[in-house]
Amino acid sequence: MSNTFSKIRNAIDLFRSIDFDQLSAISQKVDLPKLMQNFSKLDDKQLGGLMKMFDPNKKKKELPPIDGDFYDIYHTLSPEQREIQLKVRAFMEKEVKPLVNHYWLRDEFPVELIPKFQKLDICGVTYEGYGCPGMPFLMEGVLAMEMARVDASIATFFGVQSGLSMGSIYNAEV
């Protein structure tokens, strides 16, 4: 019998703490009986986790920085190669990112970027001579990844110009 009175006392205390305006607003958004039924099935650990989620004083966890270099390739680059990689990254962020969606939506190519690409001096990156840098094939992949971070179509443009065009010129002369 005392157990019943205890339950009634808890219910009365709960009833006093309810903001009926909030309860009404919530009931317009969710099925409260179903919600209560499902909450009652949760174990103590699940309920504790749920209460932590609702804690307004909970400190947000900092997410780790995004690092897509799963194979640690960047650390195999020489300082000069790393400098070129970062130069291409900065170029993509500053020159390409702000305007690429405009061109993408119109099925057009940002032709005004070609002289700026030329200044990067990376076309034919794997070939030696003819003004090409003569770097390892890994470097071509790293540069393509940097470009694809911002826009895959620009990375494709780079691949065509650097590989197909310069490769044809290089192989025609050899």
Residue 81 and residue 74: Cα distance in Å, rounded? 9
Q: Distance from CA of residue 123 to its chain's centroid?
A: 28
- pLDDT by residue (tens digit) across 117-171? 999 989 888 888 877 888 999 999 999 999 999 999 999 999 998 888 887 887 7
| Burial letters 14-43, b for 16+ CB under 10 A, else e | eeeeeeeeeeeeeeeeeeeeeeeeeeeeee
- pLDDT by residue (tens digit) across 54-106? 887 878 788 887 777 788 888 899 999 999 999 999 999 999 999 999 999 99
- pLDDT by residue (tens digit) across 13-45? 888 888 888 888 988 999 988 988 988 898 999
Query: What percent of the chain lies above the pLDDT cut of 70?
Result: 98
pTM of the predicted model as reported, rounded to 2 decimal places: 0.60
